[in-house]
Structure 1
Amino acid sequence: MDDISRVKNLIIAMRLIGVFFIFAIYPLMTWIWPSGWGWTPRQPEYERIIAGAFATLGVFLVIGSKYPLKYINLIWFTIWLNLVYATIMLLMVAVDRSGEENLFGNIPVQYLIAGILWYFIPKNIRRLKKILYGVR
């Protein structure tokens, strides 16, 4: 895949992931699949904070999707946030099996999101910024 195709796909991925963060995280944690997306025992206050943080990140991903190469730090932040979040959840399940449904819920999804964004980051960002934005 060439870098121009990667940027086009990155735009789509940022928008879809952003909308997912804005509209899906909270319902998944509270109503749709709390055992696969929440904590055991339930911690609704903490889960609302997490959902709000992801929704905020989602808004910035949607906004940043217009010029993804100018927001490359936001993309890398999203990648690392998802990797760290999923790894912490994985370690929590390893210590306390009560949350093992997370192995089929939020943990693989968080790793998948990180992988998708990483895959679509162009390999030669500096050259592309010159071509697309006239940036040195």
Structure 2
Amino acid sequence: MVRNDRLLSTALIVFGVTFCLVYPLAVVWPSGWAWHAGSPAASNYFMMIVGVYATLGVFLIRAARKPFDNRSLIWFTVWSSIVHAVVMALQALGQDMHRGHLAGDVPALLLVAIVLAVLMKRSERAYIPDRP
């Protein structure tokens, strides 16, 4: 495994574990991670998001073994994180009670996207030769 893959694998594990911990993050810091009043379990929608992100987290952890073989999953994570962050940022800017997300899940998703995109580009350059 080349150094770029080790860094990418580490990032996949860290982000995968974080995605599996969305529920506890919402318990500890609700204004930064939950979009409703009350406990995290009080919203069916939020629990659906928890399930989707926990599933993605497990697959990111599994992808850490062979990142290059899981490129489409990693690029999906990059682009879906960007889209999710932009939508949430626009919603937070339009609703005063949700401004906390601009310091919580919005920058977290952008961090995921940037780190994985940079590491994927480096990994792909190591494996895919330049085309003429």
Query: SS at 2:72's partner residue?
Result: helix
The two structures have a TM-score, normalised by structure 2, of 0.86
CA shift digits 1:40-93 (9 cap, x unpaired) = 456611111001100000111111111100100000000111111111110101
For 1:5, the equivalent position in structure 2 comes to 3
Q: CA deviation at 1:126?
A: 7.2
Tell me the distance in 2 between the aligned counterparts of 1:116 and 1:64: 15
Q: CA deviation at 1:116?
A: 0.8
Other-structure match for 1:83: 82
- 1:35 and 2:31 aligned: yes
Aligned-pair identity in percent equals 34
**CA RMSD for the aligned pairs?**
2.1
Aligned length: 126
**Whole-angstrom distance in 1 between the partners of 2:60 and 2:81:** 14
Structure 2 runs not aligned, ≥5 long: none
Note if contact 1:10-1:121 (Cα within 8 Å) is conserved in structure 2.
yes
Q: In structure 2, how many angstroms separate the alpha carbons of the residues matched to 1:40 and 1:62?
A: 29
2:22–2:50 contact (8 Å) kept in structure 1 = yes
TM-score for both structures, normalised by structure 1: 0.84
Unaligned runs of 5+ in 1: 131-136
Deviation (angstroms), 1:94: 1.7
